[in-house]
Amino acid sequence: MKRFRKEDFPVSEVRRFLEPGPIVLVSSAWQGQTNIMTMGWHMVLGFTPSLVGCYIWDENHSFEMVRRSKQCVINIPTSDLINEAIGIGNCSGRTLDKFQEFGLTPVLGEKVEAPLIKECYANFECRLAEGSMISKWGLFIWEVVKAHVAISPRYPETFHYRGDGVFMISGRSINLSRKFTPEML
């Protein structure tokens, strides 16, 4: 697995990695147990504060862990971790330790108890900003309170889910900033 050297990154700019829509790994901790889930249903909701919405199914073991702890880490895996992401989605933290099972390394967070996944390209420490839509819509709104991002490459190769076991691998980047009016950048 890749080893990334990471630096602190402005929380207001995490949209660079989330808005393109990759599969993310959500790590959590609650009452001495940790867990990881694979997630594709998320969206950016603001820059300052840095807000992210996500849907978590209440049947997932992570659901109660993040709801009760009011914290999680959103980790961005690169395409070399695609089999691990599928495996993590295929089993439940009720019956096994996913860090151990998939050879991933938990790293202590700075602002939350939930562990960062060392092998991921980026780690966003999150605190619950709004929980009132959880019971009706499964919708959590998180504030990213600390971001750790690999120094290189500038844009990671991520994987994006289409359903039915099919993934899209992120392709080339193009800079079209010259076509934007200044206030749109």
For a second copy, the binding residues (CB under 8 A) are 13, 15-17, 19-22, 40-46, 53-55, 82-83, 86-87, 89-90, 130, 133, 137-139, 141, 155, 160-181, 184-185
Closest to 107 measured CA to CA, from 97, 117, 95: 117
Nearest distance from C-beta of residue 95 to a second copy, angstroms: 14
Nearest distance from C-beta of residue 139 to a second copy, angstroms: 7
Name which of 20 and 68 has its Cβ closer to a second copy.
20
Q: At 100, is the secondary structure helix, strand, or coil? A: helix
Name which of 56 and 120 has its Cβ closer to a second copy.
56
Return d(Cα 165, Cα 76) in angstroms, integer: 19
Contact assessment for residue 122 and residue 30, using Cβ atoms and an 8 Å cutoff: no
Structure tokens at 155: 């844009």
Name which of 22 and 115 has its Cβ closer to a second copy.
22
Residues in the chain: 185
Nearest distance from C-beta of residue 13 to a second copy, angstroms: 7
Nearest distance from C-beta of residue 66 to a second copy, angstroms: 16
The residues, ordered by sequence, that sit 6+ positions from 157 with a Cβ below 8 Å of its Cβ are: 78, 79, 169, 170
Name which of 108 and 174 has its Cβ closer to a second copy.
174
Q: φ and ψ at 38, to 5 degrees? A: -95, 130
Q: Hey, how many other C-beta atoms are within 10 angstroms of the C-beta on 168?
A: 13
Return d(Cα 118, Cα 109) in angstroms, integer: 11
Nearest distance from C-beta of residue 166 to a second copy, angstroms: 5
Q: Identity (one letter) of the amino acid at 20?
A: P
Name which of 99 and 140 has its Cβ closer to a second copy.
140
Name which of 152 and 181 has its Cβ closer to a second copy.
181
Nearest distance from C-beta of residue 108 to a second copy, angstroms: 29
